[in-house]
Structure 1
Amino acid sequence: MPEQRLYFLLQRAAHELRVDADRRCLAAAGLTTAQLGALFAVRETPGLTQRDLARTLGQRESGITAMVQRLTGAGLLARDRHPDQHRAVVLTLTDEGAAALERIRPEMDRFNAELHALLGDGFDDTVAALAKLAGFRTPAPRDDGP
């Protein structure tokens, strides 16, 4: 029954793709896919806070704090005080961060082309299905009481 293996296959595919993508990204720009995702999110959403970044990436704030420290230490992100929120900081992509994204683009294009070739005509359907799964949430059980 293939449907019983769906979760296992998704986990296995995600792992294999992440390992390969991390290898490529590290070689091209010294970044992991998680760090790359953070840089893209900051570039695409000006004024993004660390809390917003954690929500966007589906990560805990503590993990994002450590990642942001590494990325600011590497000169790829800048942290500035939020104009309205006392304790919040705004993240900004630096020129070095933008250059890293440009360095990685050819490898990302190759990776996506290889996936497109592998999936053929099913590529767009796979992207659509994964987008649905990425937003999947099991409804909370109802408590109708006694």
Structure 2
Amino acid sequence: MSEPRHDGLPLPDQRLYFLLQRAAHQLRTGVDRRCLAAAGVTTAQLGALFAVHDEPGITQQGLARVLGLRESAVTGLVARLTRAGLVARRPHPREHRAVVLELTGDGTAALAAARPEIERFNAELRELLGEGGFERTAAALHRLAYWEP
């Protein structure tokens, strides 16, 4: 419990790392439910689909970099997306051991189905965070996501 403020109310929790972890869990589980219902994919899968869409010709190594994951984790993620028919692997045009990832028609459809839900979710966050709060929070989280302590 935190110390009371001068007006007798408790100060907001100052354990930032704990709050970030709790918020991430809360957001991920809620949005996963919504994305699964709308498009049949989780937020982790959706992040990979967006990366493959946004960077044509991306390799698994490139996807790992974009998502901030180990290559071993991306190998499993890509395998699941491939089995689900959302992503296809093609031979890399210049690197004989590498593969290029491409969205399939079903992958493109999953992105299209998820977009309205993502837009609704962002609108809810904008309302929750207030005027300018969404942009400030996004900027702060971006700095934290790429910070190297």
Q: TM over 0.5, yes or no? A: yes
Match of 2:98 in 1: 88
Superposed displacement of residue 3, structure 1: 8.4
Structure 1 Cα separation of the partners of residues 41 and 13 of structure 2: 35
Runs of 4+ in 1 over 2 A off after TM superposition: 1-4
Percent identity over paired residues? 66
Higher helix share: 1
Which residue of structure 2 aligns with residue 36 of structure 1? 46
Q: Does 1:101 align with 2:111?
A: yes
RMSD: 1.4
List runs of 5+ in structure 1 lacking aligned partners: 139-146
Give the deviation of 1:96 after TM superposition.
1.1
For residues 12-91 of structure 1, the aligned pairs below 5 Å read 12-91=22-101
The gaps in structure 2 that reach 5 residues or longer are 3-11
Instruction: Please name the residue that 1:124 is paired with.
Output: 135
Query: How many pairs were matched up?
Result: 138
> C-alpha distance in 2, partners of 1:113/1:4?
26
User: CA distance change for structure 1 residues 60 and 9 in 2, over 3 Å: closer, same or farther?
Assistant: same
Q: TM-score, normalised by structure 1?
A: 0.90
* Residue 4 (structure 1) shift: 4.9
In the TM superposition, what is the alpha-carbon distance from 1:70 to its structure 2 partner?
A: 1.1
* Per-residue deviation, residues 68-127 of structure 1 (Å, max 9, x unmatched): 111111111110011111110000011111111001111111111100000011111111
